[in-house]
Amino acid sequence: MNNRVCITGLGAWSCLGNNLDDVKNSLYTGKSGIGIDPEREGWGYRSKLTGIVSKPELKGLLDRRARIGLSEEAEYAYMATIEALKNAGMDIDWIEKNEVGILYGNDSSAKAVSQAIDTIRLKHDTTLLGSGSIFQSMNCTVTMNLSTILKLKGINFTVSAACASGSHAIGLGYLMIKWGLQKQIICGGAQEVNPYAFGSFDGLSAFSIRENEPAKASRPFDRDRDGLVPSGGAATVILESYESAIQRGANIIAEVVGYGFSSNGDHISNSNVDGQVRSLDMALQDAKVKASEIDYINAHATSTQGGDFTEAQAIDQVFAGCNTLVSSTKSMTGHECWMAGASEIVYSTLMMQNDFVAPNINFENPDESSAKLNIATKTIDKNIDMFLSNSFGFGGTNSTLIIKKYK
Amino acid sequence: MTELEIKEKINEFLIAEFEVEAEKIVPGANLRETLDLDSLDYVDLVVIIEDKFGFKVIAEDFINISTFQDFYDYVNGKVLAKESTN
């Protein structure tokens, strides 16, 4: 079976905004969502820089039982998902009568786990954790909670693949619909934003320490980058078979046409050109398109020296001579980690819907590798018919998605 | 802590944490049905009581608590026992 796979809904809760309109405006104006979390100083962090993500107010939206099982990242995911479902025109009654699935990227729930252990150590009594702790603490906290709240009856699991989690979740959803196993799947990625979550990453000296200029700290591909800025939130993409979308009279936004993946088989944290090239090539082959047909590349580039250097080489190898526009929206958002692969599909699809390429802010001087790319330093008003989005993670997991405008 | 203070404190957290409407809290009403409690909710009641009154409820104690008045009496008895040992 080879079903067409459509995107019929989008939703986002990020440091660029808490709804699609605000996020689109931030992308268009090149607004940074980066700031300082003073609490991290007391925790012994090397860098206090972070994406500033607001906490949703769920009282009034969800009852107590639903709320207490939600971890921080699951709260973000809930907000992004109700926006995406509204966007897709799917209400709870329709969902309950159909076999809607969920595949969501998430790879930690550090705050919930840490706070539970702190309580056990303090009280020496596990009952005093309360009933919500277990549902907040598991990696599948997002899918476990949302499938219950939304009464989902289709596929239901979490994808943990480091910083490619959200991208693989969409890729797997795409395959399931393409192969006729499911008709509608809620896909996405979520990332907690708190000191519990990022201490070990900060410990690797991977974060930018440009604290005097938060908005300039994340500078993917720029020669003077000094590390990434951790960030998070959640982003949701509603995937649906073409037949289902037409039958419902849904507004089809775009189509997922290619998914490529690979494993580097190499270092646990260093990236690898060969692995990335294989992921890019596989996505292009799956989409049955030439590199020259891609109008825009949303790069994974996180603002680390090694990662950006490698990706620029991989893109140059696959897109040699195409002069394709490239930008990393992480220049504005920071690195949204488990969420990034999904949020960057939302961001790029918003660009596609509104005919612009968001800038790679803070790109002032290229290095030897990024000099070979056509990096958008300012917002470019341009029609996008097809874009490619890269996501790469620790352990050498690579994922590439290709999205085409629906016509 | 007086009996009235205990009652008010209980009603306060039931309204805030369990989102029950104040007018539904009457001494003779059934606690489980009014609060729509399931087995998970009882765990949260244990946590809140420990936090507000400083003693740990044994799960089996809930067997004999049927109405709000039973609940007030139970907490009152435990608080008095705790105060008399201090």
- CA gap A305, A116 in Å, rounded: 36
What ipTM was estimated for this complex? 0.89
Name the token pair of A313. 């080489």
Interchain contact, B56 vs A125, CB within 8 Å: yes
What is the three-class DSSP state of A375?
strand
Nearest residue to A149 (alpha-carbon basis) of A103, A81, A197: A81
Helices (H), A193-324: 195-202, 214-217, 242-248, 273-287, 305-318
CATH topology agreement for domains A5-248 and A260-405: yes
pLDDT band of residue A63 (cuts 50, 70, 90) is very high
Rounded mean pLDDT, A368-394: 98
The predicted structure's pLDDT at residue A73:
98
B46 CB within 8 Å of a chain A CB: yes
- Residue spans of the domains in chain A: they are 5-248, 260-405
Q: What is the pLDDT of residues B34-85, one digit of tens each?
A: 999 999 999 999 999 999 999 999 888 989 999 999 999 999 999 999 888 8
Contact B44 A125 (CB under 8 A): no
The class (CATH top level) of A5-248 is: alpha beta
pLDDT of residue B85: 80
Q: Do A68 and B19 touch (CB under 8 A)?
A: no
Give the lowest-confidence range in A137-146, A334-343, B48-57.
Answer: B48-57
Strand order in the sheet with A156-159: A156-159, A100-105, A184-191, A233-241, A5-14, A254-263, A397-405, A386-393, A296-298, A325-327, A374-375
Backbone angles phi, psi at A338, to 5 degrees: -60, -25
Chain A: give the shortest CA distance to residue B75, in Å. Answer: 17
At residue B14, does pLDDT exceed 90?
A: yes
* Per-residue pLDDT band at A107 (split at 50, 70, 90): very high
Which stretches does DSSP call E strand in A313-364? 325-327, 356-357
Whether chain A has a CB inside 8 Å of the CB on B13: the answer is no
Mutate to test the interface with A, among B14, B17, B38, B43 (most CBs of A within 10 A): B43
Q: B3-85 in CATH: which number?
A: 1.10.1200.10
Least confident of A199-203, A401-405, B61-65: B61-65
CATH of domain A260-405: 3.40.47.10
pLDDT of residue A60: 92
- Model confidence pTM above 0.90: yes
pLDDT, tens only, A12-35: 999 999 999 999 999 999 999 999
pLDDT above 80 for A403: yes
Per-residue pLDDT reduced to its tens digit, A279-306: 999 999 999 999 999 999 999 999 999 9
Q: Which helix (H) or strand (E) holds A105?
A: strand A100-105
CA distances from A75 to A232, A347, A397 (A): 12, 20, 27
Q: Are A388 and A401 in contact (CB under 8 A)?
A: yes
Contact between A41 and A219 (Cβ < 8 Å) = no
User: B43, A68: Cβ pair inside 8 Å?
Assistant: no
